[in-house]
């Protein structure tokens, strides 16, 4: 076995590992409408060994970031915090962190979002109260 064949074999072992296959290869193949084998070949051609070895950890980080973005969008924080400034950046960050950790630890997403909405509603009520006191 020459070095190129050995490298291909090592890459195949990484890509065909259970977590890699389940979390990355199969979903990407489905997303792009190609076979699993074709996606394996694309990834092996495009990524070097060190990229392949650390990609699953990077994938988990990306999934967590994606979860946070989804929470941000579902709670309308772009509008409530970014545009209207009714929720401060710190409050938005706190809510996103709290909800994302609960969901990541296994809590039902919809129930966690409801908790976030309750927190935001309280912030909005307090904001209105603070505005009435200042006027």
Confidence of residue 133 (pLDDT cuts 50, 70, 90): very low
Q: Token pair for residue 120?
A: 């935001």
* Mean pLDDT to the nearest integer, 85-109: 96
pLDDT at residue 131 greater than cutoff 60? no
φ/ψ (deg, to 5) at 121: -60, -40
Question: Which range, of 22-26, 47-51, 122-126, averages the lowest pLDDT?
Answer: 47-51
Reading the block at residue 69, the tokens are 């973005």
Cα–Cα–Cα angle for 67, 76, 31, nearest 5°? 40
> At residue 89, what are phi and psi to the nearest 5 degrees?
-60, -40
Per-residue model confidence (pLDDT) at position 11: 75
**What stretch(es) of the chain map to CATH 1.10.3070.10?**
60-135
Residue 114 has, within 13 A of its CA and on its CB side, a CA count of 5
* Bigger pLDDT: 15 vs 91: 91
CATH class of 60-135: mainly alpha
The pLDDT of residue 60 is 79
Q: Is the pLDDT of residue 58 over 80?
A: no
């Amino acid at each position: 076995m020459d070095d190129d064949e050995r490298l291909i074999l090592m890459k195949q072992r990484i890509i065909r590992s259970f977590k890699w296959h389940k979390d990355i290869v199969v979903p990407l193949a489905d997303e792009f409408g190609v076979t699993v084998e074709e996606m394996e070949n694309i990834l092996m051609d495009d990524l070097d060994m060190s990229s392949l070895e650390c990609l699953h950890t990077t994938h988990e980080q990306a999934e967590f970031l994606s979860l946070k973005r989804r929470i941000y969008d579902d709670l309308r924080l772009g509008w409530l915090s970014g545009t209207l400034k009714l929720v401060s950046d710190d409050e938005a960050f706190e809510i996103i962190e709290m909800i994302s950790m609960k969901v990541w630890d296994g809590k039902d997403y919809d129930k966690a979002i409801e908790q976030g909405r309750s927190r935001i509603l309280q912030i909005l009520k307090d904001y209105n109260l603070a505005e009435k006191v200042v006027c």
